[in-house]
Amino acid sequence: MPVPDEWSSPVDEGSAVVDLVLVSLLLMPLFVALLHVGSVLYVRNTLAACAHDAARYAASHDIVTAGPETMRDAVHRRIDACVPALVGRRLTVTAEAERTVRTTPDGAAVPVVEVHVSGVLDAIVGTRTIHAAAAVLSEDP
Amino acid sequence: MTAGRSTRYGNRIVRPPRVPRVQGADRASGRKGADRLSRLKGANVLSGLTRSVRGLERRDDGNAIVEYLILGVLFLIPLVYVFLAVFAVQSTAYGVTAAAREAARAFVTAPTTTDGLTRACAAAAIALRNESADTFDCSTQLAVQCVTRDACAVSLEPGLMIRVIVRARAELPFLPGSLFGHPLGVDVSAQHDEVVDSFRAAG
């Protein structure tokens, strides 16, 4: 019986499912990292906006003149109300408020209320701490 | 011996020899692509033509996995850039909104318009400094208008409404202005209306 030269099995054909799994193992971490970057950026912007909102509230005349205790309570209330529910479940927020003095671009020293917010984001992989700060012109004389 | 089935002779497996493909036996040989091709072109095409077409197809074959991986990574990179750019714009938008509100509030609490402008400028600069690191130029980026009157009075009367407009530019990441001759970015502006308090100390 003559031996045909096309006897060899088609070894070049792998299983498509295995290929897909192997490539997905490489691509999925990249995709998850992308989601992570997006969520961190979003939370940072949200925290900055909330810090500013809280500072604005704490810098109003009645609160800033009532003392640091009142100011801190006001900031905490405001931050809790501001951080959206979507982020709030995965975010533990701590906030500090203080009244300091800053110099404006033209050199004048003005009283400001500064709020520092740091949130621990329970991200897709691990946790990540995100800081945000805001300063607002104080309304006390 | 039937085509497409292995037969055992003693200890060795004898596979059936392949019959010429032009006779439609590709289905039995397990080459799906070739089978499809010959079905597409009809079973009675000249064998030379079929063979040359099949040769072209095989040379073009690339590894689909490699393509999938490279394209996947290639499409992820612009997505990362879009993320960075969009969130930079969002940050600036939040910043100018806050700055406009601060400037308006600072303006209406000042005793005179001149004093108010100075305070508004300081307030906007302080508010915006946290959002973006670049400097704030009050003469070009901050505008205060009176909504209810043609011209703002020198002393701010109770009930007077003012409108503050703050403009800023969100720079696109990794695109230096020196490369294109002018800075590339997205202009963002915010406006805020504020009323001078009805009960305020006489200025």
Q: Is the pLDDT of residue A25 over 60?
A: yes
* Tens digits of residue pLDDT in A95-131: 999 888 887 777 778 889 999 999 998 877 788 899 9
Domain assignment present for B97: yes
Of A22, A34, A48, the CB nearest to B130: A48
Same domain, B39 and B80: no
- CA angle (B159, A78, B120) in 5-degree steps: 40
For B31, which residue in chain A has the nearest alpha carbon? A10
> Tokens representing B196?
């001078």
Strand partners, A116: A96, A133
| ipTM exceeds 0.90 | no
Same domain, B54 and B83: no
Distances (CA, A) of B20 to A62, B25, B50: 96, 7, 11
Domain assignment present for B1: no
pLDDT above 90: percentage of residues in chain B: 18
Full 3-state SS string of chain A: CCCCCCCCCCCCCCCHHHHHHHHHHHHHHHHHHHHHHHHHHHHHHHHHHHHHHHHHHHCCHHHHCCCHHHHHHHHHHHHHHHCCHHHHCCEEEEEEEEEEEEECCCCCEEEEEEEEEEEEEECCCCEEEEEEEEEEECCCC
Of B91, B94, B106, the CB nearest to A137: B106
Domain with B24, as residue range(s), is 19-61
pLDDT of residue B90: 94
Same domain, B49 and B90: no
Asked if A30 is an interface residue toward chain B (Cβ–Cβ < 8 A), one would say yes
Same domain, B114 and B37: no
> Tokens representing A72?
């801190």
pLDDT of residue A83: 84
Q: For the ranges A84-98, B54-68, B70-84, B171-185, which has the lowest average pLDDT? A: B54-68
Q: For the ranges A72-76, A83-87, B129-133, which has the lowest average pLDDT? A: B129-133
Provide, as residue numbers in chain B, all residues whose Cβ is less than 8 Å from the Cβ of A20. 65
**Under an 8 A CB cutoff, do B69 and A139 touch?**
no
Cβ pair B188, B99 in contact under 8 A? no
Q: Is the pLDDT of residue B129 over 80?
A: no
pLDDT of residue B193: 92
**Under an 8 A CB cutoff, do B122 and A110 touch?**
yes
Asked if A134 is an interface residue toward chain B (Cβ–Cβ < 8 A), one would say yes
Same domain, B43 and B133: no
Distance between CA atoms of B14 and B6, rounded to whole angstroms?
6
Distance between CA atoms of B63 and B7, rounded to whole angstroms?
34
To the nearest whole Å, the CA of A80 is away from the closest chain B CA by 18
Of A41, A106, A134, the CB nearest to B130: A134
Look at chain B and report how many structural domains it folds into.
2
Q: For the ranges A73-82, B76-85, B146-155, which has the lowest average pLDDT? A: B146-155
Same domain, B39 and B56: yes
Same domain, B118 and B152: yes
Amino acid at A6: E
Greatest alpha-carbon pair distance for chain B in Å reads 116
Q: Which of A115, A74, A79 is nearest to A98 (CA)?
A: A115
- Could you tell me if residue A34 is left (phi over 0), alpha (psi between -120 and 50 degrees) or otherwise beta? alpha
Mean pLDDT of chain A: 84
**Under an 8 A CB cutoff, do A10 and B69 touch?**
no
Q: Is the pLDDT of residue B161 over 70?
A: yes
Count Cβ neighbours within 10 Å for each residue of B52-71 and write b for 16 or more, e otherwise.
ebbeeeeeeeeeebeebbee
Same domain, B139 and B56: no
Q: Across residues B38-48, what is the average pLDDT?
A: 50
pLDDT above 70: percentage of residues in chain A: 88
Kindly indicate the confidence band of residue B112, based on its pLDDT and cuts at 50, 70 and 90.
Answer: confident
- CA angle (A56, B138, B156) in 5-degree steps: 65
Same domain, B141 and B78: yes
Provide, as residue numbers in chain A, all residues whose Cβ is less than 8 Å from the Cβ of B76. 30-31, 34
DSSP class of residue B98? H
Domain assignment present for B48: yes
Domain assignment present for B56: yes
